[in-house]
Amino acid sequence: MILHIDMDAFFASIEQAINPRLKGKPLIVGSRNNKLHTVICAASYEAKRLGIGSGMSSREAFQICPNLEFVCAEQGKYIWTSEQIFEMLKSYGLPLSYASIDEFQMDIAAHPEPLKLAEDIRKRIYANFNITASVGIAKNWLLAKTASKINKPNGVTLINDDNLRGILGRTPLEKVCGMGGKTGALLSSRGFKTALDLYLKMPAFFQDYPGKFSEEPEKPKSIGHSYTLPRALENPLVIRAWIRLLSEMVGERLRHKNLAAKTVHLWLNGPEIGNFGAQKTSSLATNDSFELYSRSFKIACLIPLNRPKIRALGVTASQLIPQESLSLFIEQKRREGLITTLDRINSRFGDGSIYPAQVDLTRSIK
């Protein structure tokens, strides 16, 4: 049996716990510090009742509710809270893993009273953090995750063989993880209406998600970073600076994991080019941020337009292999020494403490 914990309106709940004046009010947490020009990454339940939800533009949300409260997302507090909840859950001594920043899964196969455990977990979370969680319990992760969304907020749902058909029959298809987008729309057009339809007609979909409790750290298949700019830019120097910044971030994470990448993928989005993406594979794997940038820039040069406007961009490294530390040439050794030193400075004083001067252009959005 899997117990799946899903925090209720996680970011918004934390902000309401931090600022008691926001409690009971419709609140949105914006991904960017501009209340009229950002995307909502979390909405309080008071805002959700008005039809406001994550992914919506803030402008649209304020049209629905002009008195909406707004807070800019600050990831540090959400990550810290998530880590503390995880540490608290470890005290139960059961196999445990993250499903996301605000979701956790526990293997409770050996536990005699799953509902009592679920209640205890919810009470402890509320007592320690003043925020609520909803819990789902079922025989596999996907069913448990689906169950956790049924009695939100602050609820517990157990799906067993006796009530499975009843509960899944009342659960719309889009409530199942992975069914909210195009896949769900496609299945819906073919007559799948509820989670029960999916369970009966595609049982393998549920069986392929037993839960992730491997003791071995998962090796990533790719590492990437992307960013949506406040507005479309056409200054090529600034766009190159953003590609450089994203390459620095990707390179840092590769080096941290002792990995190197053979393939670099660059993705650009803009009003004139739509979605442009291409990749370059080299026989020589690298985790040197400048080399990642150079390869990305060569991809960017493939765009046929001169000075296209860019609104969003991303750099991803894939075909990852363990880093090989054999440097034959003096220049190569010096370069590796420089990179190691820069990483140590950023590790000591915080990421972004020292960075290539070119990256400074990202501060300019003109």
Partner 1 sequence: MKQQSFSPKARWDRHIPEDSNAAIPELLNEKIECLVLFKAAKIQPQMFTWRNRDYEIKTINYNWQERRGQEIVHYFSVSTGSDSYQISFNNTSLRWQVDRIFT
Query: Tokens standing for 315?
Result: 């750099």
Catalytic, out of 15, 46, 69, 103 = 103
From the list 46-54, 114-122, 242-250, 291-299, the region that binds partner 1 by CB under 8 A is: 242-250
Minimum CB distance to partner 1 smaller for 158 or for 245: 245
Site for partner 1 in 336-355 (CB under 8 A): 346-353, 355
Reduced to 3 states, what is the DSSP secondary structure of residue 45? helix
Six-digit token pair at 129? 């953090």
Which residues face 3 on adjacent strands? 106, 137
Please give the DSSP secondary-structure letter assigned to residue 213: -
Q: Shortest Cβ distance from residue 169 to partner 1 (Å)?
A: 30
100 makes contact with partner 1 (CB under 8 A): yes
Sheet holding 40-43, edge to edge: 40-43, 27-30, 69-72
Contact pattern from residue 160 through residue 199 relative to partner 1, giving x for each residue in contact according to CB under 8 A and a dash for the rest: ----------------------------------------
Element (H, E) at 314: strand 310-322
Comparing CB distances to partner 1, the nearer of 63 and 100 is: 100
Binding mask 110-139 for partner 1 (x = CB under 8 A): -------------------xx---------
- For partner 1, the closer CB: 126 or 349: 349
Q: Using the 8-state DSSP alphabet, how is residue 30 labeled?
A: E
Q: How many residues does the chain have?
A: 366
Distance CA 279, CA 261 (A): 12
Compare residues 102 and 198 and give the one whose CB is closer to partner 1.
102
Is 221 a binding residue for partner 1 by CB under 8 A? The answer is no
DSSP, collapsed to helix, strand or coil, labels residue 162 as: coil
**Which is closer to partner 1, CB of 224 or CB of 308?**
224
Separation between Cα atoms, residue 251 and residue 223, nearest integer Å? 9
In the chain, what are the helix, strand and coil shares in percent, each to the nearest 5?
40, 25, 35
Count other Cβ atoms within 10 Å, centred on residue 325.
Answer: 8
Q: How many residues bind partner 1 (CB under 8 A)?
A: 56
> Known catalytic residue: 252?
no
* Interface residues toward partner 1, by CB under 8 A: 14, 17-21, 30, 32-37, 70, 72, 75-77, 79-83, 86, 90, 96-101, 129-130, 212, 217-218, 230, 245, 248-249, 252-253, 346-353, 355, 359, 362-365
Catalytic positions, please?
Answer: 103
